[in-house]
Amino acid sequence: MKYVDEFRDGERAQRLAELIHSEVDPERHYRFMEFCGGHTHAIFRFGVHDLMPDNLKFVHGPGCPVCVLPAGRIEAAIALAENEDVILCSYADLMRVPAGKGDSLNRAKARGADIRMIYSSSDALSVARENTDRQVVFFAIGFETTTPPTAIAINTARAEGLENFSVFCNHVLTPPAMQHILASGEACINGILGPSHVSTIIGSSAYADCCRGYEMPLVIAGFEPLDVIQSTLMLVRQVNTSRFEVENQYTRAVTPTGNLKAQALMAETFELREQFEWRGLGDLPGSAVRIRDDYSAFDAEARFSMQPMQTADIKGCICPEVLRGVSDPTACKLFATACTPEEPKGACMVSSEGACAAQYSYGRFRAEVKQ
Closest chain position to ligand SF4 (CB) = 346
Q: Which is nearer to ligand SF4, 94 or 356 (CB)?
A: 356
Q: Which is nearer to ligand SF4, 171 or 324 (CB)?
A: 324
Q: Which is nearer to ligand SF4, 192 or 339 (CB)?
A: 339
- Please state the closest distance from residue 331 (CB atom) to ligand SF4, in A: 8
Q: Which is nearer to ligand SF4, 83 or 311 (CB)?
A: 311
- Please state the closest distance from residue 219 (CB atom) to ligand SF4, in A: 27
Q: What are phi and psi of 326, to 5 degrees?
A: -90, -30
- How far apart CA 264 and CA 304 sit, in angstroms, is 28
* 289 close to 297: Cβ distance less than 8 angstroms: no
Q: Which is nearer to ligand SF4, 162 or 319 (CB)?
A: 319
Q: Which is nearer to ligand SF4, 68 or 265 (CB)?
A: 68
- Please state the closest distance from residue 332 (CB atom) to ligand SF4, in A: 3
- How far apart CA 34 and CA 28 sit, in angstroms, is 19
Q: Which whole-number Å values give the CA distances from 264 to 147, 202, 271, in the listed order? A: 12, 11, 12
- Please state the closest distance from residue 75 (CB atom) to ligand SF4, in A: 17
- Please state the closest distance from residue 353 (CB atom) to ligand SF4, in A: 13
For residue 35, the SS3 value is: strand
Which residues are at the interface with ligand SF4 (CB under 6 A)?
317-319, 322, 329, 332, 334-335, 339, 345-346, 348-349, 356
The residues, ordered by sequence, that sit 6+ positions from 159 with a Cβ below 8 Å of its Cβ are none
Of 365, 360, 303, 341, nearest to 96 (Cα)?
Answer: 341
> Please, where are the H alpha helices in the chain?
10-23, 37-45, 65-68, 71-81, 92-95, 105-110, 121-130, 147-160, 174-184, 197-202, 207-211, 225-240, 260-269, 300-303, 319-323, 355-361, 365-370
The identity of residue 164, as a single letter, is: N
The identity of residue 81, as a single letter, is: A
- Please state the closest distance from residue 93 (CB atom) to ligand SF4, in A: 13
Strand 115-118 to 270-272 pairing: unpaired
- Please state the closest distance from residue 99 (CB atom) to ligand SF4, in A: 14
* 207 close to 193: Cβ distance less than 8 angstroms: no
Q: Which is nearer to ligand SF4, 99 or 206 (CB)?
A: 99
Q: Which is nearer to ligand SF4, 291 or 347 (CB)?
A: 347
- Please state the closest distance from residue 335 (CB atom) to ligand SF4, in A: 4
Query: Could you give the maximum distance between any two Cα atoms of the chain, in Å?
Result: 67
- Please state the closest distance from residue 117 (CB atom) to ligand SF4, in A: 21
Of 357, 33, 358, 359, nearest to 184 (Cα)?
Answer: 33
Q: Which is nearer to ligand SF4, 93 or 299 (CB)?
A: 93
